């Protein structure tokens, strides 16, 4: 009789060992190309925001910043500002730069997070179907 209980115990151990494997097979895998694209979009938008913030810091704390890299950065920041830098007019140049380049930096971060979450949601929905 002791042998019969040992066999039953071994069978239970085998079943419990395969349950997590079976559950892993049934769970949809969240990932894939859509999640990767979402992360790339988020990374790019963070880099856009970083370029705007660096330009903002240089523009606010230096009076006449000139040079090859700084001119390049100013040109890139002009495109990334989404026209907001020309949309508003303030009396002080510091406030103009703060709003003109700070708001677009925040917008780029929000855009990156929203697109990444949307793509992640679509990927998880596709995986569950």
**Every domain of the chain and the residues it spans:** 29-128
Task: List, in order, residues 6 or more apart from 113 with CB less than 8 Å away.
Answer: 42
Is pTM, for the whole model, over 0.75?
no
Residue range 44-71, pLDDT digits in tens:
999 999 999 999 998 888 777 677 888 8
pLDDT the model gives residue 27:
47
Distance CA 97, CA 90 (A): 9
Closest CA to 46 of 86, 80, 74: 80
Closest CA to 116 of 29, 50, 37, 31: 37
Radius of gyration (C-alpha) of the chain in whole angstroms: 27
Distance CA 124, CA 18 (A): 25
**How many percent of the chain have pLDDT more than 90?**
35
CB 46 within 8 A of CB 112: yes
């Amino acid at each position: 009789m002791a042998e019969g209980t040992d066999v039953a115990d071994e069978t239970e151990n085998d079943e419990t060992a395969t349950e997590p494997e079976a559950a892993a097979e049934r769970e949809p895998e969240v990932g894939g190309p859509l999640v990767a694209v979402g992360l790339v979009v988020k990374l790019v938008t963070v880099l856009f925001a970083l370029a705007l913030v660096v330009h903002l810091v240089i523009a606010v704390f230096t009076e006449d910043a000139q040079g090859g890299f700084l001119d390049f950065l100013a040109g890139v920041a002009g495109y990334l500002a989404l026209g907001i830098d020309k949309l508003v007019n303030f009396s002080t140049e510091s406030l103009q730069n703060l709003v003109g380049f700070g708001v677009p930096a925040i917008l780029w971060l929000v855009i990156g997070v929203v697109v990444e979450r949307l793509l992640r949601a679509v990927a998880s929905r596709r995986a569950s179907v």
